[in-house]
Amino acid sequence: MTILIKNGLVIDPSQDINKHMDVLVKGKKIEGIYPPGKGPKAEKTVDATDCIVTPGLVDMHTHLREPGFEYKETIKTGTMAAVRGGFTSVCCMPNTHPVNDSVAVTELILERAKHGSCNVFPIGAITIASESESLTELEALIKAGCVAFSDDGMPVTNSLLMRRALEYSKIFNVPVIAHCEDMKLSDGGAMNEGFVSTLLGLPGIPKSAEETMVARDLSLCELTGGRLHIAHVSTEGSVNLIRDAKKRGINVTAETCPHYFTLTDDALKSYNTNLKVNPPIRTKKDKEAIKKGIKDGTIDVIATDHAPHHFDDKNKEFDNAAFGISGLETAFALSYQLVEAGIIDLIQLIKIMALTPSQIMDFPKGTLKENSDADITIINLENEYKVDSLNFLSKGKNSPFDQWTLKGTIETTIVKGKVYDWKEDKKDKDKRELIL
Ligand SMILES: [Zn+2]
Ligand SMILES: [Zn+2]
């Protein structure tokens, strides 16, 4: 099967392409990129007029919840949500039940992912059951298909184990992804500690709960020369620590998530539990520092930290509600606001949402180069739409962005040559259907 994607503005940071071109897909691969109208004939054409054509987006931080929490999300629904959000590859965190700390769990995820909609790359646990007591068999997990290690959801509380993990990360050349949280400092907290938490009478999580662990892990990274990646950066202090570390040549990369540069803790005055996330949404000053960190490259990647929950897990008093945002289906449009605001340009946005995460994970995605996998996203940047979380393909409807009007709709997602196309429903502009 050959498919010609015509009339689109091709944006591929890996080849410095930012112009109107036609893209030819043959089977599961990209056959070539041609000047408009100069491409060979194909069996099928996809019209990308008024759209950008980019490498498929890559999310290096997703919670697919399977095995163990299938009532929150499954590999099937999570990968459908990914494709709906323009992501063609996701890396799934190991805090499932059981934790992905063994070859058996990794194999099970990969087996089930064969029936999923997008590419799935498992992340293995650093420690058994993510309990910070003993390291997992990193080498065996890599052989089974794990692309990185993390105890996400939990920090590695034992500093010596974190040191060992970073030493191994150098030997095996895989990243160790740190969920930076001092559990004693964050204990019992529900939101950012500060003026608003005092006002609302909710227990706070101080910024230092994150920053002390960022500082520790940067120090261990410097000591070992390992490959450290800091997950979900939320504070100004963390941005500053990472910036300084990079200046000193420390081998660290970092990510943030759309909610940290879109919202402030002021929004929590609504007591909407969909705003409860870990680390918490911080202050305006932090939000601005995150944007600055994205602009100057201190923050390398935008990830979703897609954390779907069942309605019952969120429909509780704020203190007792679960942490997390269902993020895959709003991530691109929220991130595109950075381009609209002039903070980064479109090429930079596609780079940090597709190419850089692939480079950090060391898999050959995030590019439209000839002969690479035909993972492609087609986006209409002018199209406005209203977020309707009840229409999410994810089982998790827990989005604080419900009913927001955003710009930038995913029109078509192609995964290894398979086309997922969403056409506007004639009656309801916001309701889109998945056509397989
Ligand atoms: Zn985390
Ligand atoms: Zn996470």
Average pLDDT, rounded, for the chain: 96
Please say if the pLDDT value at position 175 is more than 80: yes
Q: Nearest ligand to the C-alpha of residue 304? A: 2
Residue 231 CA to residue 220 CA, distance in Å, equals 16
425 CA to middle of ligand 2, Å? 33
Give me the percent of the chain exceeding a pLDDT of 70. Answer: 97
Among the listed residues 290, 149, 170, the one whose alpha carbon sits nearest the alpha carbon of residue 220? 170
What pLDDT digit, counting tens, does each position of 74-83 carry?
A: 999 999 999 9
What pLDDT digit, counting tens, does each position of 376-418 carry?
A: 999 999 999 999 999 999 999 999 999 999 999 999 999 999 9
Residues 33-62, mean pLDDT to the nearest whole number: 96
Residue 253 CA to residue 138 CA, distance in Å, equals 20
Among the listed residues 236, 251, 227, the one whose alpha carbon sits nearest the alpha carbon of residue 291? 236
Q: Nearest ligand to the C-alpha of residue 151? A: 1
123 CA to middle of ligand 2, Å? 11
pLDDT of amino acid 242: 98
User: pLDDT confidence of 422, banded at 50, 70, 90?
Assistant: confident
Is the peptide bond prior to 122 cis by the omega test (within 30 degrees of 0)? no
Phi-psi bin for 271: left (phi > 0), alpha (psi -120 to 50), beta?
left
100 CA to middle of ligand 2, Å? 14
410 CA to middle of ligand 2, Å? 24
Residues 191-218, mean pLDDT to the nearest whole number: 98
- Amino acid (1-letter code) at residue 67: P
Q: What helix, strand, coil percent values describe the chain, rounded to 5?
A: 35, 25, 40
Residues 158-170, mean pLDDT to the nearest whole number: 98
Among the listed residues 230, 229, 225, 249, the one whose alpha carbon sits nearest the alpha carbon of residue 167? 225
Helix (H) or strand (E) holding 2: strand 2-12
Asked if 16 contacts 369 with a C-beta cutoff of 8 angstroms, the reply is: no
Q: Nearest ligand to the C-alpha of residue 307? A: 2
Please say if the pLDDT value at position 43 is more than 50: yes
pLDDT of amino acid 277: 98
pLDDT of amino acid 427: 44
Q: Which residues of 272-298 are buried (b: 16+ CB within 10 A; e: fewer)?
A: ebbbbbbbbbbbeebbebbbbbbeeeb
6 CA to middle of ligand 1, Å? 40
Q: Which residues of 154-187 are buried (b: 16+ CB within 10 A; e: fewer)?
A: bbbbbeebbbbbbbbbeebebbbbbbbbbeebbe
Catalytic-role residue among 305, 313, 373, 375: 305
Helices (H), 14-133: 75-84, 103-113
Identify the three-state secondary structure at position 163.
Answer: helix
pLDDT of amino acid 44: 95
Token pair 């969403």 is found at 422
What pLDDT digit, counting tens, does each position of 306-350 carry?
A: 999 999 999 999 999 999 999 999 999 999 999 999 999 999 999
Give the Å distances, CA to CA, from 157 to 91, 132, 314, 327: 23, 6, 27, 27
231 CA to middle of ligand 2, Å? 8
307 CA to middle of ligand 2, Å? 7
159 CA to middle of ligand 1, Å? 17
Q: Nearest ligand to the C-alpha of residue 96? A: 2
Q: Read off the pTM.
A: 0.96
User: pLDDT confidence of 39, banded at 50, 70, 90?
Assistant: confident
Is the peptide bond prior to 308 cis by the omega test (within 30 degrees of 0)? no
69 CA to middle of ligand 2, Å? 15
Identify the three-state secondary structure at position 191.
Answer: strand
Quick check: is 305 catalytic?
yes
Helices (H), 134-226: 138-144, 159-172, 183-186, 195-200, 207-224
Beta strands at 52-55 and 29-34: parallel, antiparallel or unpaired: unpaired
User: pLDDT confidence of 423, banded at 50, 70, 90?
Assistant: low
Q: Nearest ligand to the C-alpha of residue 213? A: 1
What Rg value do the Cα atoms of the chain yield, rounded?
A: 21
Q: What are phi and psi of 210, to 5 degrees?
A: -85, -45
pLDDT of amino acid 424: 53
